[in-house]
Amino acid sequence: MKFLSLSLLALTVAPYISSVSAAEAGKLGFALGNQNPDGSCKKTADYKKELAIIGTRGKHIRMYTATECGDLNELLPALKGTDFKVLLGVWPTGHIQYTQDSKFEAEKEALKKALPKYGFENIMGITVGSEHMYRKELKGDKLSKNIEEVRKIVRAVKGGENIPVGTADSWNKWVEGDAEPAIVGSDIVLANAFSYWQGQKMNNATQSYYDDIMQALNRVQTVKKDQPFEFWVGETGWPSKGKAFEDGAPGSVENQRKYWKEAICSMLNWGINIFVFEAFDEDWKPAEKDNSVEKHWGVWNLDGTEKFDMSC
């Protein structure tokens, strides 16, 4: 995989940063699950406890659905009176007890009820789906239509006129041509990139990550042209436990720390906004193919202590 040298990277990054200037550090946020370690749905009190911990390192969080655990009615009250901003998620395809169409309708209805009730004080934007193009569930043109449906709901509520609506997908899907309608239709674009899932050794993990994100950002900027947009790394990180993927490095606290310091901190310093995956471990997730790695992406232990020093 070709990696841009730092001198060339400096020239490459600066023109593509639309949400912050190149001299300004990027914003740091954290993906936040909606279930407790035992698999039960989080309540407002649970979110308040977690926000107090997350607030020591960042003020942005990312969620994925509006209805799975009554997310909006449990999370948004926890945010009231804080300076946190949440990137809400709306799921446009079938999930658990819903068919594809009924899930999206339920998500939209939840949004219609919650937005007038809670307002936009703590809402930074809304994503419609996550990695649906990567999973081949939706193509860019259909995703673009779903984004527009949600945008109309948001714009119809007082205070929602300037709230960005977009989507998140794997970095490589943004580079492919099929994604162009989704890029055109998005006010905010999130690109996910995991060197772990590309089977990278630690000595190439940062380079691989940088190359992925720069390719995605370059493509989005090319398509958007002079149209303003906000760009974030939607997910990235390294697990603290778990077997290696393919020939890459395994999960360990040391590898997680190294990736944080070298990949995440350095990209923040370049002015790129990042949502780290994820805030806390999710013990309820099952092992897959004899690998429990999905449980161990959190950067905080379940007792609220940092797994390593997260200062940048």
Comparing CA positions, the residue from 206, 207, 174 lying closest to residue 188 is 174
Q: Which helix (H) or strand (E) holds 280?
A: none
Neighbours of 134 (CB within 10 A): 16
Helix (H, G, I), strand (E, B) or coil at 151: helix
Report the distance separating Cα 107 and Cα 160, nearest Å: 17
Would you name the residues annotated as active-site residues?
A: 131, 235
67-72 own/partner pairs: CB under 8 Å, 24+ apart: 67/91, 67/103, 67/106, 67/107, 67/110, 68/34, 68/41, 68/95, 68/96, 69/34, 69/35, 69/41, 69/42, 70/41, 71/34, 72/110, 72/111, 72/114, 72/118
Comparing CA positions, the residue from 284, 287, 281 lying closest to residue 302 is 281
DSSP state of 244: P
Residue 139 neighbours by CB under 8 Å, 6+ apart = 133, 178
With residues binned 3-state (H G I as helix, E B as strand, rest as coil), the percentages for the chain, rounded to 5, are 40, 15, 45
Q: Give Cα separations from 228 to 20, 188, 221 (angstroms).
A: 12, 9, 9
Report the distance separating Cα 13 and Cα 100, nearest Å: 38
Does a cis peptide bond (omega within 30 degrees of 0) precede residue 278?
Answer: yes
User: Where do runs of H (alpha helix) occur along the chain?
Assistant: 6-13, 44-54, 71-79, 100-118, 140-155, 171-175, 180-184, 202-224, 253-259, 265-269
Helix (H, G, I), strand (E, B) or coil at 300: strand
